[in-house]
Amino acid sequence: MSNSFGQLFRITTWGESHGPAIGVVVDGCPAKLPLSVEDIQGDLDRRRPGQSDITTPRKEEDKVEILSGVFEGLTTGVPISLMVRSGDQRPGAYDEMREKFRPSHADYTYQTKYGHRDHRGGGRSSARETIGRVAAGAIARKILQAAGGVEIRAYVTQIHNLVAPASEKFPTLAEVEASAVRCVHPETATRMIDRIKEVRSVGDSVGGVIECRVRNLPVGLGEPIFDRLEADLGKAMLSLPATKGFEIGSGFAGAAQKGSEHNDPFVKRDGRVVTTSNRSGGVQGGISNGEELVFRTAFKPTATILQPQQTVDVHGAETELKARGRHDPCVVPRAVVIVEAMAALVLLDHWMRDRAQNHTFKF
Single out the residue of 288, 281, 196, 195 nearest to residue 246, CA to CA. 281
Which residues contact residue 237 at a Cβ distance below 8 angstroms, ignoring those fewer than 6 apart?
Answer: 243, 246, 295, 297, 339, 342
Parallel, antiparallel or unpaired: strands 293-299 and 243-248: antiparallel
The burial class, CB within 10 Å (0-12 / 13-18 / 19+), for 37 is middle
Beta strands 208-215; 287-288: pairing state = unpaired
All structural domains of the chain = 4-358 (3.60.150.10)
Look at residue 88 and tell me whether its pLDDT is greater than 70. no
| pTM score, whole prediction | 0.94
pLDDT at position 125, please? 83
| Max CA pair span of the chain | 69
pLDDT digits (tens, 9 = 90+) for 324-342: 666 789 999 999 999 999 9
Distance CA 108, CA 101 (A): 6
- The three-class DSSP label of residue 320 is strand
Mean pLDDT computed over 91-112 = 82
Chain-wide mean pLDDT for the chain? 93
pLDDT at 60 over 70: yes
pLDDT of residue 294: 98
pLDDT digits (tens, 9 = 90+) for 10-45: 999 999 888 899 999 999 999 999 999 999 999 999
